[in-house]
Chains A and B, each alone.
Chain A
Amino acid sequence: MESILKVKDLCVNFATYAGTVNAIRDVSFELHKGETLAIVGESGSGKSVTVRSIMQLLDRNADIASGEIIYNGQDLLKYSEKKMNDVRGHDISMIFQDPMTSLDPTMSIGKQVAEPLLIHTKISKKEAIEKAIETLQLVGIDNARERINDYPHQFSGGQRQRIVIAIAIIGSPDILIADEPTTALDVTVQSQIIDLLKDIQKKLKMSIIFITHDLGVVAGIADRVEVMYAGKIIEYGEVNEIFFNPKHPYTWGLLDSMPTLNVKERLNYIPGTPPDLIDPAPGDAFAPRNEFALDIDFEQMPPFFEVSKTHFAATWLLDPNAPKVTPPASIVARQKEFKKLTKAGE
């Protein structure tokens, strides 16, 4: 697989009154050309900070302590602000969670959608507006031509998110970063927006990084999945590998705490709360909440163990010397499903 973006050994710290928060701790991953990569994790796990580092849209108290972000053979972290401005909205675009706040309420939608073109290309204003109408039609805004002078408040939440998507894709970026783009929307609208993103990806051949905490959404959109916990990637693999053959106890816990539509037993849950990332303890950050934790988990950070050529997990349970453990029942059921799948694939 050809990769289009590489993040290497990224570390990001935040200076706060309470101390330095190690929000991203040594994160490395690749985005393949044309794929949708989902990053899942709970609030505070570092998924948003990771993608904001790529765009260099971090708050002022953030410090990218080390790492490289390689795009087109160059390290984006070495770019000047001016050069980075050429990348944003042109090569890499981003859509945000809340369509109510990511649009300018005082500017007509036509102008907002056309803006990236006017900034990044030498196109005339008339042509830019024409292209904006086309893009709005592409994202499913009815009567785009008539509504080009309307303002954001004249549109519903779902339509506004479509407009935000139009702004992001009008410059035909290589990479689209979507940070919880459907979290603020109703399920029926969410379903439409996801279909739209899939459709656009096919048409424009973009690579997408999709951030969400909703595993249902991930299952529907992702080619590959990364699971983050406490500022680290703890497991990654192809979507079927993560959903049907997860190896990290945190991934087990996440999948296990989702109510399935058929079961009415008591919900399983991950006890405790995520750790404080000011001065994180040594070892696996998940260990204190992990019923399967080994002694070594509290002392030494687990490396990535290879499960398959595409699937890696950072847990000592995969070490050849580790004791055999039985995952929660729902995970065992998923693994059975995986065996059927791999057999069918052979």
Chain B
Amino acid sequence: MTKKKAIIEISHLNQFFNVGKANEVKAVNDVSLEIYEGETLGLVGESGSGKSTTGRSILRLYTPTSGDITFDGTNIAKLKNGSKDMLKFRRNIQMIFQDPYASLNPRMKVKDIIAEGLDIHGLVSSKQERDTKVNELLQEVGLNPDHATRYPHEFSGGQRQRIGIARALAVDPKVIVADEAISALDVSIQAQVVNLMQDIQEKKGITYLFIAHDLSMVKYISDRIAVMQRGRIVELSTAEEIYENPLHPYTKSLLSAIPQPDPIVESKRVHTKFDAPEVEPTDNTLRELLPGHFVYCSEEEAKQLV
């Protein structure tokens, strides 16, 4: 891979909840990560691994406990809510949510849902311009402009997810965080939405952070994949490398658990279990064991893994 420009640089990000209390949760624990411009970075892990929290921290939906998040050269970890800079930043990064039913306001018309960002950022100056822009966006995501005056309940799950994508695209963002954006959809509809997301990326060069637990779809859509476990990134590499040459035992376990649509493969598949060690070696850190292939391990383990 040629040296790419990082659009987001996360360094030593900590996102803790209930700090100082007995039930303190280290949801994201010393995570460092670069997201390159124009790539799709897949973030996988089981529930509770911290993948959604990482995504939300990048969007600055949380204030980080510590660490830096640099977006296009500006450290956004320290931005104040409601400040001008924050507003500017929010325009550059948008989100597509998991549940296409809960993420659209049922009392708003589709055109107002899509145009809300346009209004907030003052991107359109007349009603006519607003309508034209909404129509363009609807067409872009494969919906009919006639749908603009309808309400969300009149649409199917896949169509709603398209509305969610149109809303995200409205403000011309550089990065879209898709948090389990296709998990709630049926198989045949998932493929439609994934194809749409790829078309948009090709056309606009948008960067995706694609958070999911469906590993086969993640492999398909991602250029690189980060595997999270217990608030840490345990492995990071290109999609092919992660699938063909997983090094961390947790990644191996996760991959071996994916059921394949093939009865013969299934009859032979063995799920290797992974039990996290009670006590981690103190020098555990994310190490580059192969070019571009990072694994969270101790120096001792590193020698054995490669």
A residues with CB within 8 A of B: 42-43, 157, 186-192, 194-195, 213-220, 222, 239-240, 243-244, 253-255, 257-261, 264, 266-271, 273, 337, 341
Contacts and interface: CB of A to CB of B under 8 A. Distances in A.
26 contacts: A42-B187, A43-B186, A188-B273, A188-B274, A213-B186, A213-B187, A215-B187, A216-B258, A240-B264, A254-B188, A257-B187, A259-B216, A259-B220, A260-B216, A261-B216, A261-B243, A264-B220, A266-B195, A266-B198, A267-B195, A267-B220, A269-B189, A269-B195, A270-B188, A273-B156, A341-B264
A269 B192 contact: yes
Contact of B261 (A187, A189, A243, A271): A243
Interface string B163-197: 00000000000000000000000111111101100
Contacts of A216: 216, 258-261, 266
Nearest to B198: A266
B260 A261 contact: yes
Contacts of A218: 261
B12 interface: no
A211 B253 CA distance: 25
A218 B262 CA distance: 9
Nearest to B45: A186
A219 B266 contact: yes
A259 B213 contact: no
Contacts of B159: 273
B290 interface: no
Interface string B267-305: 101010110000000000000000000000000000000
Contacts of A192: 271
Q: Describe A's contact surface by its main secondary structure.
A: helix
Interface of B: 46-47, 156-159, 186-192, 194-195, 198, 213, 215-217, 219-220, 243, 253-254, 257-267, 269, 271, 273-274
Contact of B253 (A43, A188, A254): A188
A44 to B, nearest CB: 9
A223 to B, nearest CB: 10
Nearest to A241: B263
B257 A188 contact: yes
Given A187-B213, A267-B194, A270-B188, A243 B263 contact: yes
Contacts of B192: 269, 271
Given A187-B213, A261-B216, A220 B186 contact: no
Contacts of A271: 192
B265 A219 contact: yes
A198 B195 CA distance: 36
Given A187-B46, A213-B186, 7 more contacts: A157-B47, A188-B254, A191-B271, A220-B263, A253-B188, A259-B191, A266-B198
Given A190-B257, A219-B259, A269-B195, A259 B46 contact: no
Given A259-B217, A273-B158, A243 B262 contact: yes
A264 B258 CA distance: 18
Contacts of B156: 273
Contact of B191 (A42, A222, A267): A267
B258 A187 contact: yes
Contact of B187 (A240, A258, A260): A258
Contact of A186 (B213, B269, B271): B213
A201 to B, nearest CB: 15
A222 B261 CA distance: 12
Interface centre among B188, B217, B262, B269 (most CB of A within 10 A): B188
Contacts of B243: 261
